[in-house]
Structure 1
Amino acid sequence: MFAPTQEQVRRFFCEAWARSQAGQPMQAIEQLAADWVAEHPEWHGELADADAAAARDYGTGAVGGNPFLHLSMHLSISEQCSIDQPRGIRQAVELLAARLGDLHAAHHAVMDCLGQMLADAQQRGGTPDGEAYLACVRRRATR
């Protein structure tokens, strides 16, 4: 299993964004990361300085306050949908995106479910409950 350090994650996003802006060839995961960075212009300046971004303390605040946590969640949801894991997540996210009229907005709604699943797992000291996560996304898709 790949377990990058905080600094590696931050540098990955900064480098993917820099490569995108420079028109350099990119791996598929770098392009996906750069696409999500492009959706968040509020962080473009911050990601332009990899050294400063790697050193910054974002605290333990919410997903919206830490660009790297937020962008990592976008990547995670994209990857979950690409392999449909947990089974049914792709359809649930597609339905939510159709209901909201925007994939980006759907991802933000899914982040609430993903964050809750992770918090619940951490609180009980167990593994994440993919079925509860999927049920949360489905509820949001059918509201």
Structure 2
Amino acid sequence: MFFNPSRDEARLFIIESWRKRRAKELLTPLEDLVAQLIEKHPEYFAIFEDPERYLARDYSPEQGEANPFLHLMMHLTIEEQISIDQPPGIRAHFVRLTHKHESEHDAQHLMMEALSEMIWQAQRHKTQPDASVYLACLSEH
């Protein structure tokens, strides 16, 4: 079975993971990972602590707005990619970027830029995402 949450379901999962962390409740491994990622982003605490205000909000990149929910989901995507080394070689890029920038978090942000580039190119050309584009972007960092 394929897990494909809606936008609101994914957002609620993030918000609930953060609520449970703050309430010191038992978390699943995935909730714990989300909470750890949120802890690295104190600039988002107020957003995840006020779901009534932010749950349905749209974020406009054209207006310079970062989408905190998308940002966290991209971190989760990269965590998963690293854990299973998919696409092959991604873990080596992560290790190299971590050593180069002396920060796992900064390495992941660079990886997010490359992942975004791959997705943008696929949308632009109306094709499937191409891992070779992703890996080539990472090689440039």
Higher mean displacement: 1-10 or 83-92: 1-10
Which runs of 5 or more structure 2 residues have no equivalent in the other structure? none
Counterpart CA distance in 2 for 1:62 and 1:115 is 18
Q: What letter corresponds to residue 80 of structure 1 in structure 2?
A: Q
Q: What letter corresponds to residue 36 of structure 2 in structure 1?
A: D
Matched, 1:97 2:108: no
In structure 2, the CA distance between the partners of 1:61 and 1:23, relative to structure 1 (3 Å rule), is farther
Counterpart CA distance in 2 for 1:33 and 1:63 is 24
**1:7-18 pair list within 5 angstroms:** 7-18=8-19
Q: What letter corresponds to residue 35 of structure 1 in structure 2?
A: Q
Judge conservation of contact 1:63–1:69 (CA < 8 Å) in 2. Answer: no
Counterpart CA distance in 2 for 1:107 and 1:64 is 20
Aligned residues between the structures? 140
Counterpart CA distance in 1 for 2:109 and 2:3 is 24
Which runs of 5 or more structure 1 residues have no equivalent in the other structure? none
TM-score under structure 1 length normalisation: 0.91
Higher relative contact order (CA 8 A, sep 6+): 1
In structure 2, the CA distance between the partners of 1:104 and 1:58, relative to structure 1 (3 Å rule), is same
Identity of aligned residues (%): 38
TM-score under structure 2 length normalisation: 0.92
Counterpart CA distance in 1 for 2:129 and 2:3 is 17
Cα shift readout 1:23-52 (whole Å, capped 9, x = no counterpart): 111111111111111000011011002232
CA RMSD of aligned residues (A): 1.6
Counterpart CA distance in 2 for 1:6 and 1:63 is 21
**Shift, 1:73, TM fit:** 0.6
